[in-house]
Structure 1
Amino acid sequence: MSLPAGFLDELRARASIAQVAGRKVSWDQKKTNINKGDYWAPCPFHQEKTASFHVDDKKGFYYCFGCQAKGDALGFIKETENVSFMEAVEILAQECGMQIPAQDLKSKEFSKKQESLFDIIEEASKFYKTQLHNNNGNSAQDYLNKRNLTKDLQNHFEIGFAPNISNHLEKYLLAKNVPLQKMIDAGLVAKSDDGSQSYDRFRNRIMFPIKDFRGRTIAFGGRALDPKTPAKYINSPETILFDKGKTLYNYRLARNNLNKQNKLIVAEGYMDVIALNGGGFDTAVAPLGTAITEYQLRLLWRLTDEPIVALDGDKAGINAAMRAIDLALPILSIGKSLRFAMLPQGQDPDDIIQSQGAEKMKEIINNAVPMIDLLWQRELEVQTLDSPDRKAAFDASLKRITKRILEPSIRDHYFAAFKSKRAQLLKTSDLRTTRNRKGTSINAFATLGTKTSALASDSSNTRSIRETVILAILLSYPELIEEFSYHIEKMDWQNASYKELIKTLISLSDEQPSNIIDKLNESYQKQILIILNNPHAKISPALRKTGQKEIAIKTLKEEFMKLETYAGMQKEIRDAIDDLNSASGESLTWRLNQATKARTNAEKSTLDDIETAGEDKTAMTDFLQNLIDNEVWVKKNK
């Protein structure tokens, strides 16, 4: 749907981001200044105790200094309510008392069709619930009683029953003046192959309503009562309302119940979710009969950093866990992962809760293992390490796993963990070593130790200097803070001692420049003096003389650009060193030379009179050239 020009601007102007966010967070009374529209709270997007989530009500945006989440009121509603952009517009417009302009004809017809299907599916849900509680549902009630699904649980999950009658629902809806084609569009009725007859899609099945993020029924899952039925579980077909790869059963209720004291559990199916709920675990969800998708995984990570996947400990359960891990590896981000609670073989959550109690289930959940443990177990099971060749194949398989992880720091930690596990297994300290021309043994893999090498130390020192220069310029020219606020917020500040100062600096960006310095001096006067008197800062071209605003702007742009270049360069170096075992000499030489050129180019100032002081410009080049000269990627004979 397209909206008239200016509508969204007016909506954002009317909305209070503090009021919108205030429904989801508790403001920190010490840091919040309501009169200035400056609000702070623990972040709703990741678990934390400190108030690093910042809302600027005057500017209408939010930013988290912990997880870097940012946006406006519409973005906040979209993320926290898990709705589409247009749904967020509808919610905010209603709160602000604004009427959404008329849609174009095509969009209006589509929305009208969606609404009519919602009504039809809701009517079907009422029908199924009625059938469960009349004579048609006796067999279904017997089954539910055997599975310990109490009346309260049945009502909570709105469970129903589809009788074993070919056109029962169809006739009911026809009596409600629902056209047959609408029933087909909603996934409730199907036609025979030749199109001559129609029939209810669900028959002799216990019915589980599937709801969207706003609590509206969009589809059904059906569990067959007859054990001879080929398909034990079936779902509604995909419709304009329902995409099973983008939906999780019980997601909305689990989201509402989730807090820091409980954990998000991913179960195998509807019955497991309901059984867990009956045992007091009301934050369980389930994929809809298929392996978990990337979209569903990202939905889970919106709610919590480490969802716990609870699966049967049999071969099928292990395979399902491995599929989830293989899906997760390339999209892992810092703080986001999975843990796995493997149930005793042949038992589901209901079996455990009924036979051993909810405490036993809680123990299993609390003892969930990280992804790396299952990966290690899988690789051990397929390899017999009784020869050098097989050990080499085992090493290669571990390396293939780590290379699939795109986030560099996570990849480093996985590699270090694999190395430690292998050392314990084979009583050796390295996955593989080789020797340079001098006969000295060296490690042919990049490990966490790389971070303390001359290369890493040099880059770390250089970055600290650049951060100090940037802060010194901003403190000397506070009128530039607002202009560079995006870069300041985006930047991953390495010097921990600067972080509180930077938070305060950003929160004051809309103040008068003179007021900014006065207020900063109230809390950070000593630190500011240290920064301004730093020898590297004092010889920066922008600070040698006063009144050099134009040079200050150019210097800031250049310093931010250099830091971004360093980040990309270090990633390339990590990847190149990580490939020492397999890359050809020509390929690796080219990659290392490219990284060297990147640093050299980054060090070249675009200002004729700017010289970056205090940097060892040759240390990194010498280090890389030493790698090339010694051809450390080539295995040498002892």
Structure 2
Amino acid sequence: MSLPPGFLDELRNRVSISSVVGRKVTWDMRKSNQAKGDFWAPCPFHQEKTASFHVDDRKGFYYCFGCHAKGDALTFLRETDNMSFMEAVEVLARDAGLPMPERDPRAAEKADHLSELAEVTEAAVRFFRMQLSTSAASGARDYLKGRGLAQSALDRFEIGYAPDARQALWTALTNAGVAGDKIIEAGLCAKPDDGGAPYDRMRGRIIFPIRDARGRCIGFGGRALSPNARAKYLNSPETPLFDKGRALYNLGPARSACGKGKPLIVAEGYMDVIALAEAGFEGAVAPLGTAITEDQLRLMWRVSPEPVIALDGDAAGLRAGFRLIDLALPLLGPEQSLRFCPLPEKMDPDDILRQGGTPAMSKLVDGAVPLVQLLWQRETEGQVFDSPERRAALDKRLRAALAKIADPGLRGHYTDEIKRLRSEFLRPARREWSGRPATGRFAPPAKPLSATRSTRLASAPDNAIAEAMREELIIATLLCHPALVSEFESDLDRLTCHDPALAQLCAALLDGDTPDDAQTAELLTLPHVAIAPPVRSSDAGFVRLCLRDEFAKYFARDGLTAELRDAVEDMGDLADEGVTFRLARAAEARNSSERARLTDSTDLGEDRAALSSELQRLIESEVWVKRKK
């Protein structure tokens, strides 16, 4: 049975060789580097105790430095399980979720035909390269020299020139014995509808050969020298060899460079890629004059789990980045994402390298922001959120975007990050309560009471202040009892900490750094902190119980707020029983969280009842308002 062209390549791209080999060996994790796709293990083909068997996940090959066994995933299955070639293909296809192709007796014939077309395009590469050294190409050479390209770069990227003549390529290839129908099928020439003589598609242009991952020339890109040309850049038409939506310029060399640890940088055009590669960024590729497609995105992820998108720093480049977000969100996973390199306005990578050299570009690449940052920028840039309606519209857009993420774990992390960004963006200025102005980073209450912390919570002006006070109490308790930080590290990491000074103290606790003495002293002098039993207690068990209680209240209130907001929005024009049930369950969860483990105060019970009553009134008012609408 013959397999269709590209089937085996698709199979190898979908199934990592490490997953196949890993069923038979135990990896030496001290020697392996999973992040780089570099795996070592004792060889399964001969008896040994040392890890001399090497698997390169990115290149898809294995090699044993002891017995010299080598091959790809198909070879490994055939050697270890004594499979035939087609049996190994069927096993990999099943793992990849690919259906086996129908038996096609003409498959070999099709493969031979594509090889013949590739020979025609290779002949065209040689013709264009020779033309670059002729007198007719002096303008092209001047342009390339002005762009800073040395002869080594011209040779490396096989840059050529298409003469400004109607049949220069056609004549050269047909005189060399190439069949005219193959020249036309390869997209090099076109035949007029009126039946006239075929003519060259590329004329008066600098030529950039486009090769696939296997190194075959599948098409060409051409840059016009005349300012009056219809299109500045022109690509080969769609052919049996060339599908521009599934190809990337400089893919083969970039894949090799990324296998050696270079970042995959996605630029906009041919000259950007060449400039980046010449400056040491060999992992540079470019889509072929169109917006990035899903196939191109998947192709990038096969090369690198986190490509850096470096589109031009103009409005068109920013729009392209925003469109790419919607394309990428449903495809994101824990091991495949994107970063965006914000280029200065009206500049491309070539401009940056000319002005600042490699260090300037390296700084931009290192500062590339994650996709979630660009998503937030897209939804908020240039807008004002000074009303509840505008903020609700923002929340709705963000929820719709996050709902596209298929992986539930990743969607949860995106939700947390968007929540953090929203909190910082929409955070009101910390209130100065009436009676006395705020002094310092932490604002003290205007009328300190001699009551407990919970009584202060119940009588606080609003939920934001109450939550801020709870955050302050938690941080202060852990500052006084640092031995408990490791026990509550995951909970501490989830605190919002709206106050910047409090966030710094929280970060210091998480990182194991020494907190700022002045900030710590100021926090501990706050009345609601100073009177708190866990801050003053030396009983570690008692402090532990208090912290668990405070964290439970904090996260329950936070979850209730989100649930209430989402449920009310989901009600539409009429609140049904399902939504009312959700609200009741949210209230029940809140009430449960407020049943503190420490019940040593009558005031505590009264305040808890007040909070529950207040919550019930809030829910009833929200439902009533929605029903009235």
Superposed, 1:278-293 pairs within 5 Å as: 278-293=278-293
Cα contact 2:37–2:57 (8 A) shared by 1: yes
Cα contact 1:576–1:588 (8 A) shared by 2: no
Measured at CA, do residues 56 and 114 of structure 1 come closer, stay the same or move farther in structure 2, by a change above 3 Å?
closer
Q: Distance in 2 between matches of 1:304 and 1:125?
A: 29
Measured at CA, do residues 72 and 315 of structure 1 come closer, stay the same or move farther in structure 2, by a change above 3 Å?
farther
Give 3-state SS (helix, strand or coil) of 1:28's partner: strand
Q: Distance in 2 between matches of 1:46 and 1:414?
A: 31
Q: Distance in 2 between matches of 1:289 and 1:76?
A: 38
The residue that corresponds to 2:130 in the other structure is: 130
Measured at CA, do residues 145 and 305 of structure 1 come closer, stay the same or move farther in structure 2, by a change above 3 Å?
same
Q: Distance in 1 between matches of 2:308 and 2:364?
A: 10
Query: Is residue 344 from structure 1 mapped to residue 374 from structure 2 by the alignment?
Result: no
TM-score, with structure 1 as normaliser: 0.57
Query: Is residue 28 from structure 1 mapped to residue 15 from structure 2 by the alignment?
Result: no
The residue that corresponds to 2:304 in the other structure is: 304
Which amino acid is 1:378 matched to? R
Q: Distance in 2 between matches of 1:119 and 1:590?
A: 70
Q: Distance in 2 between matches of 1:77 and 1:250?
A: 28
The residue that corresponds to 2:366 in the other structure is: 366
Q: Percent identity?
A: 41
Query: Is residue 580 from structure 1 mapped to residue 567 from structure 2 by the alignment?
Result: yes
Deviation at 1:414, TM superposition (A): 1.5
Q: Distance in 1 between matches of 2:424 and 2:125?
A: 57
Q: Distance in 2 between matches of 1:576 and 1:46?
A: 47
Measured at CA, do residues 380 and 112 of structure 1 come closer, stay the same or move farther in structure 2, by a change above 3 Å?
same
Query: Is residue 331 from structure 1 mapped to residue 344 from structure 2 by the alignment?
Result: no
Q: Distance in 2 between matches of 1:181 and 1:323?
A: 39
Cα contact 1:136–1:163 (8 A) shared by 2: yes
Structure 2: runs of 5 or more not aligned: 9-16, 28-35, 61-71, 81-85, 430-461, 465-561, 583-615
Q: Distance in 2 between matches of 1:591 and 1:183?
A: 70
Deviation at 1:630, TM superposition (A): 12
Deviation at 1:441, TM superposition (A): 8.6
Q: Distance in 2 between matches of 1:591 and 1:314?
A: 50
Give 3-state SS (helix, strand or coil) of 2:199's partner: strand
The residue that corresponds to 1:270 in the other structure is: 270
The residue that corresponds to 1:201 in the other structure is: 201
Q: Distance in 1 between matches of 2:79 and 2:577?
A: 46
The residue that corresponds to 1:539 in the other structure is: none
Structure ID, larger Rg: 2
Deviation at 1:261, TM superposition (A): 3.5
Measured at CA, do residues 582 and 216 of structure 1 come closer, stay the same or move farther in structure 2, by a change above 3 Å?
same
Cα contact 2:59–2:259 (8 A) shared by 1: no
Measured at CA, do residues 57 and 428 of structure 1 come closer, stay the same or move farther in structure 2, by a change above 3 Å?
farther
Cα contact 2:166–2:203 (8 A) shared by 1: yes
Deviation at 1:631, TM superposition (A): 13
Deviation at 1:367, TM superposition (A): 0.5
Measured at CA, do residues 106 and 138 of structure 1 come closer, stay the same or move farther in structure 2, by a change above 3 Å?
same
Deviation at 1:77, TM superposition (A): 10
Cα contact 1:383–1:394 (8 A) shared by 2: no
Cα contact 1:61–1:72 (8 A) shared by 2: no
Superposed, 1:389-468 pairs within 5 Å as: 389-427=389-427
Deviation at 1:359, TM superposition (A): 0.7
Q: Which has the higher contact order (CA 8 A, sep 6+)?
A: 1
- Determine which of 51, 57, 78 is the counterpart of 1:44: 57
Which amino acid is 1:580 matched to? A
RMSD: 4.5
Cα contact 1:246–1:296 (8 A) shared by 2: yes
Q: Distance in 1 between matches of 2:249 and 2:422?
A: 40
Deviation at 1:160, TM superposition (A): 0.5
Give 3-state SS (helix, strand or coil) of 2:178's partner: coil
Measured at CA, do residues 305 and 107 of structure 1 come closer, stay the same or move farther in structure 2, by a change above 3 Å?
closer
Structure 1: runs of 5 or more not aligned: 9-14, 48-53, 63-70, 90-102, 430-439, 443-574, 593-628
Q: Distance in 1 between matches of 2:381 and 2:570?
A: 28
Cα contact 1:46–1:305 (8 A) shared by 2: no
Measured at CA, do residues 306 and 177 of structure 1 come closer, stay the same or move farther in structure 2, by a change above 3 Å?
same
Q: Distance in 1 between matches of 2:109 and 2:74?
A: 39
Query: Is residue 258 from structure 1 mapped to residue 278 from structure 2 by the alignment?
Result: no
Cα contact 2:312–2:349 (8 A) shared by 1: no
Query: Is residue 225 from structure 1 mapped to residue 201 from structure 2 by the alignment?
Result: no
TM-score, with structure 2 as normaliser: 0.58
Deviation at 1:125, TM superposition (A): 0.6
Query: Is residue 635 from structure 1 mapped to residue 627 from structure 2 by the alignment?
Result: no
Measured at CA, do residues 209 and 43 of structure 1 come closer, stay the same or move farther in structure 2, by a change above 3 Å?
closer
Deviation at 1:85, TM superposition (A): 11
Cα contact 1:422–1:428 (8 A) shared by 2: no
The residue that corresponds to 1:449 in the other structure is: none
